[in-house]
Each structure stands twice: as structure tokens, then as C-alpha cells.
Homo-oligomer: A and B are copies of this chain.
Amino acid sequence: MKKAVDDEATGHSQLTMQVVEHVRSLIAKGEVHPGDRLPPERELARKLKISRSSLRAGIGFLSAMGVLKSRHGAGTFVSSGPPALDSSSLSVLGALHGFLPWQMFEARIVLEASIAALAAERATDEHIAELAEEVAEMYAALADPREYLIHDVRFHRTIARASGNPILGALMETITADLYRHRSKTVQNTQDLKESAEMHREIYRAIRSHNPTQARLTMEQHLKLASDAQKLELDQEDVTHSAGAVPEKSAPTSHQQNP
């Protein structure tokens, strides 16, 4: 009997897919939930009647796309949190096809603007209340950039949830996860944070009044500013790293992170 759900020319071997199918059904049947630990590899391999190597191939596949996470010595766990592809997906794909930073930013803006518009249409009172809370916390954390960032992220995630479309949310997570890798080193000054908080408040208001157009616009505006700030960081990093390798204002044509 072949359940072969997904043949396709992808070339993934059958056993690997069998593992994927099994894990999928485990979750679909509610036997394991996000955050749960899977049975140990040796045991699972015995149960599936395959070797541990093959099982590991399947587990590798799933963790490559962010569905599973293995912790050495502890076990293999189902990812919790918002759905998202593995952060390195885009990064590697980008290295292949030469994605440029501005394209990354633009993709994020496009996605989040549309998400904000959807959220303005569909947000429930609970969502709006959550957003209000996060905005408040942002104002309260103006002096603590690390704390601010937490609520910043939560704000955007809440909007994604309010949009009612987890797929768009997942794509957003995938992109931002890649973007945040460069960040978190340099912290913004209080000045910038205040400005940022105000923009978040505007976005919140647009969503609260269920005005998609306004939500889209303010979100675009917000992210454009944020992007510019981050681009500066990137350039500085570049200068710091290459230390005179390339003169200023070098062609941004090869800006991918490259050790």
C-alpha cells in the first residue's frame, strides 16, 4: 500500500517521506502537540521498521523547514510558536540567487502592509486589546531597547494573527527572522524608539478603526523608516568588517552576508 501523498519530482527518497508522513499524522491525530517531545530516534526507528540513519534523514528534513528542533542530549521536539519556515531557508536561497538587502526589506514591507490591511478588516476586540497592550508596553520600555524589541516583535505577530491568515504570517516570520539576525547587536537610541512607538500607535489606531487603507499606509511608512535605519547598520557593519576593502558607497550588488 502506497500512500505516496506527494510523489513529485522533488527527488526526496521514499523513506524520508515516510518519516515526514508519520510525523505529520502524529500531529494531525493530536498525539503530539507543538512543544512536545518525540520518542527517541532509536525507538521511532524500530517502530517504523527503518534504520536510524533513514529516520534521521527524515528528521533532518523536517527540522530543515522548521517543523522539528533537535536538542543534543535532550530529544527532538515539535516547534512551538508561530508557524515559520526555518530562518536559514531564505538565507541560503538568497546566497544562491543573489538576493539583495533592499529586496529583503521590500518583501517584508509588501507582506506586512498587506497583513496589516487584512488585520484592519478582521481584527477582533481581543486582538485590538492585545495590540493596545503591546503599544503601552513599548512606551514603557523606551529606555530599555531589549525590552522594547520584545514588544515590537509581539506587536507585529499579533497583527499577523489578527489578519487571520497564518500562511502570510509564516512568510513574514521567515523573512523577519532572517532580518533580525543582523540586528540585536546595535541598539537604537531612545530618540528613535520614541518615534517608532508613535508609529506603532498609529498603526494600532488604524486597525482599531478597521481602516485597511490607513493600516497599510502607516505600516508601510513604519517599515520604510525601520528599513532605512537597518540599512545604515548594515553599511556600517560592512565598513567595519572589510576595513577599507571597498571604498565608500560601493555597489550594493553583493551585500549578502558572507563571512
Give residues in A with beta carbon < 8 Å to B: 3-6, 8-13, 16, 20-21, 24, 27-28, 33-34, 53, 56-57, 60-67, 69-72, 78-79, 81-83, 85-99, 103-104, 106-107, 110-111, 114, 118, 149-150, 153-154, 161, 164-171, 175, 177, 181, 255-259
Q: A83-B257, A97-B166 are in contact. Are A70 and B11 (CB under 8 A)?
A: yes
* Smallest beta-carbon distance A57→chain B, Å: 5
Residue of B nearest to A150 (CB): B5
B27-A167 in contact (CB<8A):
no
Can you show 16 pairs from A to B with CB atoms below 8 A apart? A4-B150, A4-B154, A6-B81, A11-B63, A13-B72, A27-B95, A33-B259, A34-B96, A34-B259, A57-B60, A65-B86, A85-B85, A90-B170, A98-B166, A104-B167, A107-B171
Residue of B nearest to A137 (CB): B1
Give how many copies assemble into the complex.
Answer: 2
Partner of A114, one of B83, B104, B114: B114
Residue of B nearest to A147 (CB): B3
Which B residues are CB-close (under 8 A) to A86? 10, 65
* Smallest beta-carbon distance A235→chain B, Å: 19
Interface of A is mostly: helix
